[in-house]
Amino acid sequence: MSGLLDGKRLVITGVITESSIAYAVARLAQQEGARIVLTAYGRTSLVRRLARRLPHEAPVVELDVTAPDQLATLADRVGEHLDGVDGVLHSIAYAPAECLDGGFMSAGWPEVSAALHTSTYSLQALTVACRPLLRPGASVVGVDFDASRAWPGYDWMGVAKAGLEACSRYLARELGPDDIRVNLVAAGPLRTLAARGIGGDGPAFETGWATRAPLGWDSADADPVARTCLALLSDWLPATTGEIVHADGGHHMIGS
């Protein structure tokens, strides 16, 4: 039986540790038949080591999503490994420490602009950079965290995620006529490197998530989120775009 992503060609950003959502997506995507290219920011040798631990070693290309020169050459560099792209995973987020853990009222524009550039605008920038390779039926998937609420300690990253959600809708509108879908997966809290930047050991709102979520929640297991990303990257949701799919155990719909 063919895999869910048999024959698909994907660009996956955000692989930095084996616990990352992006790494789980990369591993499962290969198991489901996809060919992938990983991007690396600043720690290329580390990402190459992780690429060798996948079921099949994946090529790695350098990418700083805030660097126009790297974005301008991304399609050519990915094109050395893939003759087209059927899916892109945007798993990129960053905010300076001043923007988190109570810094909402004190963070300055230089810090806030860095958070918005990396975490929000980069979805459009990455998609535009990959546009020459994207084929009809392609899917762009971004990793989100529910921006409909104000979470303790999340501060300007919450604002950036709200912008990401708006950005995905506008991209979906622009690319829909070319048969390209754009969706987000709103994940529950996971013990990733990014999460450890909030509150030291992880966000305070992780506490109690498993008991409030009807399906429960394991913050050490990225596979449920990765599987949701794979579903959106596949051909099984051809009429779904501009959507936010929650993979959080159902926590988002429980009243306080």
Catalytic residue numbers?
A: 154, 161
Distances (CA, A) of 46 to 12, 28, 118: 15, 20, 20
For 220-238, letters b (16+ CB in 10 Å) and e give eebebbbbbbbbbbbeeee
41, 90 in Cβ contact below 8 A? no
* Of 175, 187, 196, 216, nearest in space to 87 by CA: 175
234: its two tokens: 């596949």
What CA–CA distance (Å, rounded) separates 57 from 81? Answer: 12
